[in-house]
Structure 1
């Protein structure tokens, strides 16, 4: 009953926030036939390898869309095909849209990037008292110290976003503001609330009016689109060697971070074209070239050869500068890539999350740039175990583990299974550790979260127990 109410509410909200619907047609391809065939073969081969039911592709050359189409199934049960118009839950590629919206307010003089968050949210604080030192720009660059948390399902009422940000008073920072980098959905929730508070309109309405409409993104909404607009992909998860329909998880309090942004390849082509045009969309400018340039400047290093700006990752690929971001939610995902100096952009949207659709975008970009596509990532799957465990051995592993960045994990034995409650996600997810040996486990989860990753344990000379994920230290027992 509650689930039906939440869904009905979300549909109503989506109808209010989305732009008017018009027929969406596939773009006429203007790539050379040989390139088109090479792309089609690569996409179809890698979709099959990664068990991706449906995927849509966006290619821009010289700043304009030249290939926008769908592959596979939007819905395996009904047989509906994926098209350029099919809406998919894109995930964290939304963060760059949130950053763009906030930069619009900066341009209007309503927000200062170097101002503390408390100038716009006077009550904002964290449990350790350090929240008052967070600057607006640090929310956008993941340098605020706000902890990494993933909200899978929440509420959809008008007060959801502010309630979420007020709840951060119970969280402690992972590091002092500006003194590190940690990818943080919580930080982007706060950034979205600044947009909402300063603009005086709901976050979703602001994005629809000031980003989506000016760019011609008529098939983009928060929460699932109303039924009359059609073209909604069914999401899927890959778990226990099978592709299964994913539940629709809604959380308005996490919209600015990308919990449930639905968009189509056609709309994404308009969005990326505007970025390559330095902020000018089909119905006018949404950001100045100077502000966009600032978004694409390194604000923090994320690795030896990559950095993060405002809502975008920055690096080099195939000898060229690239601006990119991926998105991943239960039942969907995306990858947006721009090569500004080449006027090139590639994007993928898929109704199954994971590395395969993200790496597929990189492979298509390689073809377009005359480079060798990177190999497809290995499929993480082991057949069901035939090992008969001695469950008494598991007592060496049970207990509470601290996972740097990713919260805590409690391991326990129940009904002959080794289980783990993982607090990184809200609600807390239960992972099963399927035994393939006394110290050889594989994660299983009905939502496909960390599905197939290998877990083992290692003792240390000082008596600690380390939890290893794919052979690398991931946490330690308290």
Structure 2
């Protein structure tokens, strides 16, 4: 009888251990699951690739790099490389506008005509319309003549003059239509109101304040430590990115940064370091059209859901680079991905990683 009881207890113990200790053959760590999502998208180890990071409650729980930072020199990417972030720049522009509002230097209800008196219909378009992509102004990136200025040094006024006389797409506040022109104008307003260049304003009041040492206004001339070079993919293979003058995308898409710095940015937003709580809230609330319909965009962020969780998102695309960032405020999860080939989109990938991290936290 004693032998029987011992055997039964031993079998029960094995059962408990089998449940408590995951079998390494069948169980995958979170990192392995994340990389199982990434690797099918970045298959070429000798081509350009990307870097990805997941942070929870401000702490990095995953980061890795795939592919080359420079194909010619056969240099591997690491997670501390600097990338063009494209339209993620709009986050910095929106925060800058609200910083100036907090200082009493402007108001989001101000009319565009207050700052650009000769802008057609400027007495109907507000800063709010520009921030929410509801102005109806023609997006300069959709104009055929963009190729004529793409490599020219443009002042903000020259950029505004480039598109201001184009026919509007709709009346202000009538609908949401993603628009780079609006954010170029916002950058121009930042310069007019602050007395600083947009580049200096971002540097002095954001990057320096929160120690974003790897971030700045883009340049192809200046030496940038640990810069990931950008590529396109053609039928014949990879080619170096098309050269543009970054004064053209300006405040709509000319920032470069790193994973580490973007985490500092997110933490600063969470801690109301740059804006007070009231103005920070304005960044992330959905706004309405003239007819009362709600749009899923705040000031510089798309407002969506992943599963049932609220999500603040924005991506970017500029010659040679793509970017995507997703923040889940209720769970304090931040996921960012940068790629140095515009043939590799991190958008769906970053969303899927965020979904995976969410689901893993509920198991």
Q: TM-score, normalised by structure 1?
A: 0.64
Q: Give the deviation of 1:143 after TM superposition.
A: 0.5
Alpha carbons of structure 1 residues 109 and 52: separation in structure 2 relative to 1, 3 Å: farther
Correspondence for 1:27 = none
Correspondence for 1:149 = 140
Is residue 284 of structure 2 the alignment partner of residue 296 of structure 1? yes
CA contact (8 A) 1:162 1:253 kept: no
Correspondence for 2:237 = 242
Which whole-Å deviations, capped at 9, do the CAs of 1:23-68 have from their partners, x for residues lacking one? xxxxxxxxxx811222233222321289972211121101333334
SS of match in other structure, 2:39: helix
Is residue 358 of structure 2 the alignment partner of residue 369 of structure 1? yes
Q: Give the deviation of 1:82 after TM superposition.
A: 1.3
**Whole-angstrom distance in 1 between the partners of 2:107 and 2:329:** 27
**Superposed, which structure 2 residues align to 1:303-314 within 5 Å?**
307-314=296-303
Is residue 173 of structure 2 the alignment partner of residue 184 of structure 1? no
CA contact (8 A) 1:60 1:273 kept: no
Is residue 263 of structure 2 the alignment partner of residue 269 of structure 1? yes
Aligned match for 2:125, one of 127, 134, 140: 134
Q: Give the deviation of 1:248 after TM superposition.
A: 2.8
Is residue 251 of structure 2 the alignment partner of residue 256 of structure 1? yes
**Whole-angstrom distance in 1 between the partners of 2:176 and 2:303:** 14
**Whole-angstrom distance in 2 between the partners of 1:154 and 1:96:** 25
Correspondence for 1:447 = none
Gaps of 5+ in 1: 1-32, 280-284, 372-478
Correspondence for 1:350 = 339
Correspondence for 2:56 = 61
Q: Give the deviation of 1:299 after TM superposition.
A: 1.9
Correspondence for 1:434 = none
Q: Which has the higher contact order (CA 8 A, sep 6+)?
A: 2
SS of match in other structure, 2:310: strand
Query: Segments of 4+ in structure 1 off by > 6 A?
Result: 49-52
CA contact (8 A) 2:55 2:61 kept: yes
Q: Give the deviation of 1:199 after TM superposition.
A: 0.4
Alpha carbons of structure 1 residues 306 and 317: separation in structure 2 relative to 1, 3 Å: farther
SS of match in other structure, 1:262: strand
Correspondence for 1:335 = 324
SS of match in other structure, 1:70: strand
Q: Give the deviation of 1:354 after TM superposition.
A: 5.3
**Whole-angstrom distance in 2 between the partners of 1:324 and 1:311:** 9
Alpha carbons of structure 1 residues 201 and 184: separation in structure 2 relative to 1, 3 Å: same
Correspondence for 1:316 = 305
**Whole-angstrom distance in 1 between the partners of 2:108 and 2:50:** 37
Higher fraction of helix:
2
Alpha carbons of structure 1 residues 39 and 305: separation in structure 2 relative to 1, 3 Å: farther
Gaps of 5+ in 2: 1-27
Is residue 353 of structure 2 the alignment partner of residue 359 of structure 1? no
**Whole-angstrom distance in 2 between the partners of 1:226 and 1:171:** 32
**Whole-angstrom distance in 2 between the partners of 1:64 and 1:103:** 27
**Whole-angstrom distance in 1 between the partners of 2:179 and 2:287:** 15
Q: Give the deviation of 1:154 after TM superposition.
A: 3.9
User: How many positions carry a matched residue from both structures?
Assistant: 325
CA contact (8 A) 1:143 1:178 kept: yes
Higher fraction of strand:
1
Which whole-Å deviations, capped at 9, do the CAs of 1:129-178 have from their partners, x for residues lacking one? x2331001100000011112215624336xx1111113333212111111
Alpha carbons of structure 1 residues 188 and 226: separation in structure 2 relative to 1, 3 Å: same
Q: TM-score, normalised by structure 2?
A: 0.83
